[in-house]
Chain A
Amino acid sequence: MNGNGDRAPAVSLRGVSQVFTVRGGGRVAALDEIDLRVEPGEFVSLIGPSGCGKSTLLRVIGDLIRPIGGEVQVNGKPAHQARLDRDYGIVFQDAVLYDWRTVARNIGLPLEMLGWERERRSARVREMLELVELTGFEQHHPWQLSGGMQQRVAIARALSFSPALLLMDEPFGALDEMTRERLNNELLRIWERSKSTIVFVTHSIAEAVFLSTRVVVMSARPGRIVDVVDVGLPQPRMAETRVEPRFFELVKEVRELLHRGAPEVFEGPPADQPLPEAELLAAEEER
């Protein structure tokens, strides 16, 4: 595919299923037999109704959850090994910054974990600040920033060590439309320049179509892949892309697929927080 056939896929999922046991003994089937292959350099979006397992799928790829069934490979190795090799950077829906660290030290956190020298670290952090247009805010603490700025810090942090794979979970979900479009453009710029692979979760159809080379449409729980849409809009994407007829056709196509996968009407922006209790259970298990 695209001359990449001989390279290992960036992500390869085969028959991946996940069932959560919630407190009280209930079982929630989150993923059902997911097959997906993401080639290096692709920008793939996952879209689907709230609670269909998009975040779970991202966590499975990042080896933050081990699925009950199926095989997960990242960069041609088991997901677990890829995590140990720090092959991916992840951006959560909420920025997940450490309050006690300044902006600069939040961005430099993965570099610390990788054992970079102080000088090399601060040089890279400065680069990153420039990239996300936060120069001058390095000594601020996260709570002193707006939601959009916090999200940019989280993105800078994920990009700082140049991972080959970026996992992004609705990174712009909480932002206003203006900021969102600007960050969309920035993200594409970064993607083009770094030649990285991006797996991107969103609940915005337009965003998915605008950003992606392929859009993966998922059905309501348990999450299955309804269909995959090849976007094929010309690169690089620009503001004009959003008004092309082909763009609207694709948006319509994705919307129809979403409706096919959803038992009820797709409700738009979901309150996408998984059960906090269930989350705690998962965290406890890891200890």
Chain B
Amino acid sequence: MWEGYKAMGEALGLTWPFEVDDRTMPHLHQIFGQFFEPSRRNGPLLIGVLAGKALFTAREAATGFLLGGVTGFLLGIAFAHSRLLERGLLPYVVASQTIPILAIAPMVVVWLKAGWLSVAVISAYLTFFPVTINTLRGLKSVEPRSLELMRSYAASPWAVLWKLRVPAALPFIFAALKVSATASVVGAIIGELPSSIQDGLGGAILNFNQFYLSSPPSLWATNVVAALLGIAFFAVVAVAERLVVHRAPEHVA
């Protein structure tokens, strides 16, 4: 598709939405070939460098994902159990998501000092919201009859939560976790920018951006790695979902 669009764009001289040439759209073989070029003169191969950076970013993103997932889940539970909390706090949670991550990130870095932990927190910020909303929706999706059954057993609120509400909410929660999985990678990459962390993919993107004119494929190669990392995160969650969620096919969100 990439090559097709490129060929067509070049043949027709497309200038909209952008001018198509080797600078804006390098050949795929150039992009993938770039992996096996030295990253700098006499340096290690680009693919090795990017793999190292990807691992670094993956650690930030995974930490952020866990942090955001757990925070989101706990907030969802809190909101489901207290009208007051939901009314009082949920609007602020929603508002928090309208603040651009680029405005939040420098503040987090100031508070927590530049480092992979602050990047994880920025990533968590992008992660928790869908989990909160879907946990809340899932916990409330329980049918009145199912609740009555629990009541007939004189079940404690704790038992109702863990034996009924949370299992019923799992398909909703996993739907959110799949969104959050990729968002956590994006969050980690963006989070690296204001902390000027050089060890991750964010740093690499910033770096290759500056040298884009001399070597466009490097940036594209980095983007490919970032996308692969996002896909890997998504796949892990999807596999976990298959192991954990046993619902009728039409119930699985």
A residues lining the B interface (CB < 8 Å)? 59, 62-64, 83-86, 88-90, 92, 94, 96, 98-102, 109-110, 112-114, 141-143, 279-280, 282-283, 286
Contact = CB atoms under 8 A, between A and B. Distances in A.
B152 A88 contact: yes
B40 interface: no
Contacts of A286: 147, 151
B251 interface: yes
B188 interface: no
Contacts of B207: none
Given A100-B170, A143-B248, A83 B147 contact: no
Interface residues of B, number: 24
Given A99-B248, A100-B168, A83 B154 contact: yes
A199 to B, nearest CB: 14
A150 B159 CA distance: 23
A53 to B, nearest CB: 16
B148 interface: yes
A65 B144 CA distance: 12
B145 A99 contact: no
Given A86-B153, A112-B163, A113-B159, A280 B245 contact: no
B242 interface: no
A283 B163 contact: no
Interface string B234-247: 00000000000111
Given A98-B167, A283-B144, 11 more contacts: A83-B152, A92-B149, A96-B143, A99-B246, A100-B167, A100-B245, A100-B246, A112-B163, A113-B163, A143-B247, A143-B249
A86 B156 CA distance: 13
Contacts of B154: 83-86, 113
B164 interface: yes
Contact of B146 (A83, A98, A112, A280): A98
A85 B153 CA distance: 9
B166 to A, nearest CB: 10
B149 A90 contact: yes
B242 to A, nearest CB: 13
A109 B163 contact: yes
Contacts of B167: 98, 100-101
Contacts of A59: 148
Contacts of A63: 151
Contacts of A96: 143, 145-146, 148-149
